[in-house]
Amino acid sequence: MTETKIRYQQDIRRFSDELIRIQAPIKILDTIKWPRHVEDHFLSQQTKSLPKIEANFYDNVPLSFNTDNTQQELKQLRTAIIKRLGKQDKLGKILIANVEQYLIVIDMLNNRGKPTFGKLSQELYGSASHKLHGDRNTLRQLGDRLSHIFSLPAARHMSKQHPKIITAPQAVDHLSQRLVNYFHDDQIHVKLSDGIVSDAAVGGDTVKINTRAMFSESDMNVYEVHEGWVHVGTTLNGRAQPHATWLSVGSPRVTASQEGLAVLMEMLTLSSNPGRARRISDRVSAVDMAEQGADFIEVYRYFRNQHLSSKDSYRVTQRVFRGGMVQGGSFFTKDISYVRGYVENINFIRSAISSGLPELIPMLFLGKLAIEDIPVLFEAYQNGLIAQPKYLPPMFKDISGLYAWFGFASGIGNIDLKGVQRHFARSFSKVTINTQEAELFEDAEFDNNSD
């Protein structure tokens, strides 16, 4: 190995570790979350008034870092990267992109409860009015189509009941056992938490379980692959990098790739269900309504009219208004990332296959990355600067099965589905469903709430 390459590796490691150190206290969700009692009060009031969240509420939730000092450190790091690596260095550009994201994050958090918060959120996470690469439809249009599919009578009829009979302490034990088997070389943590609003959340190598929640076996399946295999897995894969350790932490630019990959894993392992899938799809509609000026109650009532429970309607709405303004005009757009990222991950895999580059596919698990980073990271991997992912789900270790699955999916993509559906609709016209059984399924409530 040449001395020049050794120095370059050392530079990448030094800049990576410095970025990790600077961003460590920046906790976006912790600084915009609402107390549980706000939900209890709102639902008890039967939506007579907006949740009691004003701009001064966030003034009483101090940031865990000095914004001026942190911004100055980030700017100094950006200057150092450019000076040492040059403006055209490919890995340097990725580092700089993450640095610049954190600068915007700090500005956004400084504007909690104000109109500027929403504008900066759109800059970081995008908007429901944006279109996917190569598609003419907006994310809202795609979200509406998916919400419709997962609201059809068939979704209710085929969805099995998932009784929530697992307590939070039992969920910790269940999930710990599963993840210990998967992460055989690293210590991971599953613990109870009173400090999260969702039923489950991840921070680094720790999965947090809400002490007040009850869980189903379906929830355990989702959390294992979504929170565990993807979110914890990419963290540990990033930490295992000898030089590019920044891959263990994620700025907002990686959110769509991460959340989309997590949802894709739910689908590939058949862990999800129509209720869970609908919750994810509904989030796009909630973001779009908030972007169009709707206030909290208007969005909440929209979902109640779509036959969501009061709790589910509150939570999908609350996710979009946290950090913003409940009276409208400011919002948090992160929730478009699930649908957007899901589609982008699928399109990436299909394109890698059709381009004759299936070797790119496991790179999705390399760490916290944006999909557009993968060609550069794969080149660095081939040059010995990046290590291959330490932990990979079974279907990504041997991608021949994925190749076949996506190959068939691409091959039948041009079939006229409307004509096929008309054909089968005629044969289904004489089929009846037991009314009592259908009502039983329709009464089943699906609540799979993870962040």
- d(C-alpha 85, C-alpha 93), whole Å: 9
Quick one: average pLDDT of 170-175?
96
pLDDT at position 76 is 98
Q: 159: which residues sit within 8 A by CB, 6+ positions away?
A: 273, 274, 275, 441, 444, 446
Amino acid at 355: S
pLDDT bracket for residue 157 (50, 70, 90):
low
Task: Say how far residue 44 (Cα) sits from the centre of its chain.
Answer: 30
- Whether 443 has a pLDDT exceeding 50, the answer reads no
Tokens of 108: 């956004």
Q: Give dist(CA 374, CA 369) in Å, integer.
A: 8
46 pLDDT exceeds 80? Answer: no
Pairwise CA distance, residues 307 & 285, whole Å: 15
Dig out the tokens for 215 from the structure: 């869980």
Q: Between residues 252 and 447, which one has the greater pLDDT?
A: 252
190 vs 346: CA distance, rounded Å = 30
Q: Which residues contact 98 (CB under 8 A, 6 or more apart)?
A: 19, 246, 251, 253
Mean of pLDDT values over 168-184: 94
Band of pLDDT at residue 449, cut at 50, 70 and 90: low
Q: Tokens standing for 322? A: 């946290």
338 — pLDDT class (breaks 50, 70, 90): very high
The more confidently predicted of residues 68 and 312 is 68
Q: What is the pLDDT of residues 73-86, one digit of tens each?
A: 999 999 999 999 99
Q: How many of the other CB atoms lie within 10 Å of CB of 380?
A: 20
Give the separation between CA 424 and CA 111, rounded to whole angstroms: 54
Residue pair 228/207 in contact (Cβ under 8 Å)? The answer is yes
Q: With contact defined as beta carbons under 8 Å apart, do 234 and 255 qualify?
A: no
- What's the pLDDT band for 277 if we cut at 50, 70, 90? confident
Nearest-angstrom CA–CA distance, 227 and 230: 6
With a CB cutoff of 8 Å and minimum separation 6, the contacts of 219 are 162, 164, 166, 171, 199, 200, 448
- pLDDT of 161 above 80: no
Instruction: Check pLDDT > 60 for residue 448.
Output: no
Residues 6+ apart with CB under 8 A from 250: 258, 368
Between vectors from CA 199 to CA 196 and to CA 203, what angle results, nearest 5°?
55
Biggest CA-to-CA distance, the chain: 76
Residue 436 pLDDT greater than 60, yes or no: no
Please tell me which residue, 421 or 174, carries the higher pLDDT value.
174
Euclidean distance between CA atoms 324 and 331, whole angstroms: 4
Residues 6+ apart with CB under 8 A from 141: none
d(CA 428, CA 244): 56
In the structure encoding, which two tokens stand for residue 415, read together? Answer: 């079939």
Calculate helix-pair angle for 337-354, 255-268, nearest 10 degrees.
80
Structural contact between residues 349 and 402, judged by C-beta atoms closer than 8 angstroms? yes
Strand, coil or helix: 204: coil
Q: What is the mean pLDDT of residues 314-326?
A: 96
Average pLDDT, stretch 326-339? Answer: 96
Model confidence over 108-133: pLDDT tens digits? 999 999 999 999 999 999 999 988 77
Amino acid occupying residue 384: G
User: Strand 200-203 relative to strand 189-193: parallel, antiparallel, unpaired?
Assistant: unpaired
**What integer best gives the mean pLDDT of the chain?**
90
| Residues 431/435/441/443 CA torsion (nearest 10 deg) | 150
Mean pLDDT of 291-316: 93
pLDDT > 70: what percent of the chain? 92
pLDDT for 362 beyond 70: yes
pLDDT on residue 441 = 41
Residue tagged 């208004």 (tokens): 321
